[in-house]
Structure 1
Amino acid sequence: MFKEKTIVLGITGSVAAYKAADLASRLVQAGAAVEVIMTESAQKFIAPLTLRALTNRQPVTSMWQDANKFSIEHVSLADAADAVLIAPATANTIARLACGLADDILSSTVLATRAPVIIAPAMNCNMYENAATQANIAALKSRGFTFVEPESGRLACGAEGKGRLAAAEVILAALDAVLNRKNDLAGRSIVVTAGGTREPLDPVRYVGNRSSGKMGYALAAAARDRGASVRLVSTVDMPDSSGLSVIRVETAAQMLEAVRDAVKGADALIMAAAVADFRPSTVAGDKIKKGATSLDLKLEPTPDILSEVKGDFVRVGFAAETVDLIGNAKKKLAGKNLDLIVANDVTAPDSSFGAETNMVTLLFKDGHAEDLPLMPKRAVAEKILDYLAVRLS
């Protein structure tokens, strides 16, 4: 997917710098010409020789280096790039780019290039969450830079939190999406739902599910990037919602009303949200105290949004199942009169709620099916939108 593309890979001084070697190798295997730029601090973590062996090109480490044809005239490197990928990107590098500095070969290249820039941060969780870093990220996003969110987990410093470099598959999927950005949904209006609904039990507690909303947000962002006007009905907040019309809801009933309003004039509805099937029959006005030895709950069905919302638009649903994946998905496909249903086994470790990846089967109204391999949720979203673009045309 990167054949004959020139990718400038910027590596900065993070302990995750060793992971850039894997990225470089994968890009070369995919047919890209990889020009590596290493900051001075990056060379403390990984040797330029490693990147030279993987790319068959001498990494650029200085503004005044003679070994590479792009070294002295950094504008040439900026012009040659089809994309600039900075992975890992430290808080310091992000801050310098946000300020528009050009005092080394990496910052100079970024400032001079007209190619898209993709940034994959990696740093201590407190540094990432610091207001200054978040402001710098927001500033760069507003200028069109693409960010690949870091993962949460145990960091090299021993802390637990968000700051670990995203998986190579996720970074490369983001790079692919940017390089091969389509505009085939321009002029289309698409409604997407995301997250799991919360059905209140009392003012404090609720009945819900483990849906993170990541798949819905991936669909909304991908549709936006392909030119669509997107209305996102969501129960959760996500960082990159720029360019989306977001309607926040909590319950299934609220989502039903929001979707009914949003689909007016829409070309498609993609129901990626995990809507609770049941809700408490009565909601306590005050917090239920723990005094009793047991608590009996009476539940009633929630409204079936896909069945109740009518209109002349393409209908895409999701089936998150734990048993008989295909059988249950086919029943929903027919019972809800869908054009496409996306079947997902949520017991699979890399396809569970909250995972960054997904492995799904697409079941179509005409009876055919397509099994997709394990891939980042954004890549799954692009596959769904590929179908939608053809269907709408």
Structure 2
Amino acid sequence: AEDDSHWQPQVFSPPPMARDESIRVCVRCTPGRSQAPSVKLSGRTLELTRPKTTLTKKFDFHQELCPPSSGHVVDGFLSPAIRSAVSAGEHVAAMSFGAPKTGKTTTMGEATRTAVSDVFAAVEGQHFADRMVTVSALMSAITPPAQSHMTGRQVCHEVLLDALLPHGGDAAYRGGLHVREHPRTGFFVEGLTTVCVASEAEALEYVQHAMTNFELEKQRCGGGGGAPLRVHTLVTFKVWRRKADGSEVVSEVQLLDLAGWQRAGGSTGGTSKAASSAEKALKGKVGAAPGAAVFEDLVIKAIMRVCDSLEQKMSHIPYRDSKLTRLLCNALGGRGSCLCALHVGLDSFEETEAMLQFGKRVSAIRNSVSPNSINYGALQAR
């Protein structure tokens, strides 16, 4: 028998304690037409009043509500949380959702540029043996309806495109990138361009290039032919930091700008038809103009299902219903923190109420946030 008197059992350090945290929601209200419903902010409570009536509904989001300014949303809500998460080695996602022409794209553009400064400020303030920062950007395009060979129905498809590469024309929508799953690291986009940046200026250069491609793609929306109907954008920063003992701390920052939902059929507020269109909009039904064909936005519909399943604490969460929801699994009910900037357009009472109800459901989702630390020595010993 071998002499094992010198053998000592391998001791693994316990994982860091996770904290229970709800998704933080910030509401930004944009004034609408003259007969729009009125909104009153009172601390953490938002009061919505129907025009020409005394009907009032109150919504409590458990967070301070920001004034209607993109600068307040970024500097007072998104930026501090992103810097804190990167410093702690955690995953954080910021998503902008709401009606069109409410400033959500402007808010997320400012947040993306500010996130570059926040990431490098958090990294430079710490002492590690080695570090690396990467940038990637992708677009989730919803293609025009096409007849399915299996069912014969008109269906839309979600296609992922690399935003750091030159535009490939309509042929790019025939394939797109695929989301794969690694047994240890989770979901990732196969073939997505990931650039290692050494400075803040270099990162801003790639971010600006991606945002230019975002705008070009959004301008093509609804142009007919093979042009997409809607485009959702996602910018991701990853930070690897290696300690002296060989363990790594990995932080990930995701900035998601969801395309604004629109009323199906272009109805106006104040009637039951508006309430019906609002309900359809929040379920992913989108119509660009009166009389236009209504199609399903697969991404928004999948996010709604994921949020509803998490709120109801169901055993199965349908992350695989969309490619974007797979990539957002850490932010929605996972081990990362999530920030939602909800942009509400005060065009009708029913639609505004539906959007605020969605924000209230999102704020009820709980995440178990913990640092992402990998000890390769312990993994090999196991």
TM-score range, shorter chain: under 0.3
Greater relative CO (CA pairs within 8 A, separation 6+): 2
Relative to the length of structure 2, the TM-score reads 0.24
Larger Rg: 1
